[in-house]
Amino acid sequence: MLKEVDIVLKAKELGYEQCGIVHIEEMKAYAKKLDERIEKFPELANHFDDFYEFADIKVNYPWAKSIIICSRWYGKYLIPDSLKGRFGKYYLTDGRVDINSKDYQDSLEFERYLKENGIETKTERKFGVTALRWAAVKAGIGIVRKNNFIYTDNGSWNYLEAFLIDRKLEYVVENSIKSCPPNCKLCIDSCPTKSLAEPYMMNRSTCISCLTTWEGWDLTKEPNSRKMGEWVYGCDICQDVCPFNRNSWNEIEEFPELSKLEQKLSLEQIVIADYDVLSEIVQTKLWYIPVDKIWRFKTNALNAMLNSFKPDYLRIIQDASKKDPNKNVRDMAKWVLTQLKLNND
């Protein structure tokens, strides 16, 4: 019969940075955090409907008794300079879906290990089977800072994975990670859209990460489009500025295919891209934008061109305004030209 320590050791052997185990009852209090978010931002209420099930795991998994929660450090990957400040680093090194990555394979192996040892288990690699940060705090594998991120001893460049299990087990890590200095609010002051409104409180619908993926479909009407800077997909600002992340990114390993993908991800290449390239190469990696809406990569890139305008972009924007097969892209390019106070003749 597996013991807690066997499971934790196996996780670490498979490359997880930290691992802890909590009873599912620990998740109940997450509902209170959702209530607090909705109280602060009532307009977000419908986005959180499904999240209440993260707190009440028995609803979907009556057999579940505990949660194994693991962190995986992605701050070891080489990020090409041209992609920094434009693409969220988590999304560029996304082990959740990339079957060629060691991260993905190790996750499968961990699940196999649990099953081979007679443990019923369930995970959900894309969005998590529960509220991952809350589980991580309860298991002591890290602390939450004012920017809402889980920090381990190595900073916040970790992503989390949870596995429900049918055993009542517990392994809480004792950590001595220092909390945020009381006067620090660098992350809050740096958030371009003021989405990170106060400590531990952010508005998902004004967050650049959301505006470049799940929302912000018409950037010509989006009040925050000029504040989105050069971001094309995701945002890392509130982590980049944090003193607890200083020197915490150690570029020591290549993520599969990332250096090849770099050439396809310049602003110019995205705007002129063939739609087949966008769907076969870019969307398979940056999958929050669905295949039937891949024009979105181009409108995001056009917005980034506007916000960091260089004369070299002009011809590309003008061509897109006339020749791109997608109307959303043509309209966005025309709007960019009007913002630049140039006409497209």
Encode 21-70 in three state secondary structure. EEEHHHHCCHHHHHHHHHHHCHHHHHHHHHHHHHHCHHHCCCCCCEEEEE
Residues 6 or more apart from 72 whose CB is under 8 A from it? Answer: 15, 16, 17, 95, 103, 158, 159, 160, 161
The CB-of-53 to ligand B12 minimum distance in angstroms stands at: 11
**Between residue 46 and residue 105, which ones bind ligand B12 under the rule CB under 6 A?**
51, 88, 90-91
Q: Which of 245, 243, 238 is nearest to 207 (CA)?
A: 238
Closest CB to ligand B12 among 238 and 337?
238
- Binding span for ligand B12 by CB under 6 A among 151-159, 247-255, 276-284, 297-305: 151-159
From the list ligand SF4, ligand B12, none, partner contacted by residue 145 (C-beta under 5 to 8 A by kind): ligand SF4
The CB-of-61 to ligand B12 minimum distance in angstroms stands at: 14
Residue with CB nearest ligand B12?
A: 88
Distance from first CA to last CA of the chain, Å, rounded?
74
Residues paired with residue 70 on neighbouring β-strands, in sequence order: 19, 161
**Between residue 211 and residue 270, which ones bind ligand B12 under the rule CB under 6 A?**
214, 234-236, 238
**Between residue 112 and residue 131, which ones bind ligand B12 under the rule CB under 6 A?**
127-128, 131
The CB-of-145 to ligand SF4 minimum distance in angstroms stands at: 3
- How far apart CA 151 and CA 136 sit, in angstroms, is 10
Closest CB to ligand SF4 among 129 and 136?
136
Closest CB to ligand B12 among 2 and 185?
185
**Between residue 264 and residue 303, which ones bind ligand B12 under the rule CB under 6 A?**
none
Exactly one of 30, 73, 255, 313 binds ligand B12 (CB under 6 A); that residue is: 30
Residues 6 or more apart from 167 whose CB is under 8 A from it? Answer: 65, 66, 119
Closest CB to ligand SF4 among 121 and 195?
195
Q: What residue has token string 């660098």?
A: 186
Closest CB to ligand B12 among 29 and 342?
29
Check residue 226 and report its DSSP letter: G
Residue 202 lies near ligand B12 (rule: CB under 6 A) = yes
Residue 204 lies near ligand B12 (rule: CB under 6 A) = yes
Residues 6 or more apart from 264 whose CB is under 8 A from it? Answer: 270, 273, 277, 281, 282
Check residue 85 and report its DSSP letter: T
* Binding region for ligand SF4 (CB under 6 A): 145-147, 180, 184-187, 191, 193, 195-196, 202, 207-209, 235, 237-238, 241-244
Helix (H) or strand (E) holding 161: strand 158-165
Backbone angles phi, psi at 254, to 5 degrees: -85, 135
Q: Report the interface residues with ligand B12, using CB under 6 A.
A: 30, 33-34, 37, 51, 88, 90-91, 127-128, 131-134, 137, 144, 148-150, 156, 158-160, 200, 202, 204, 207, 209-210, 214, 234-236, 238
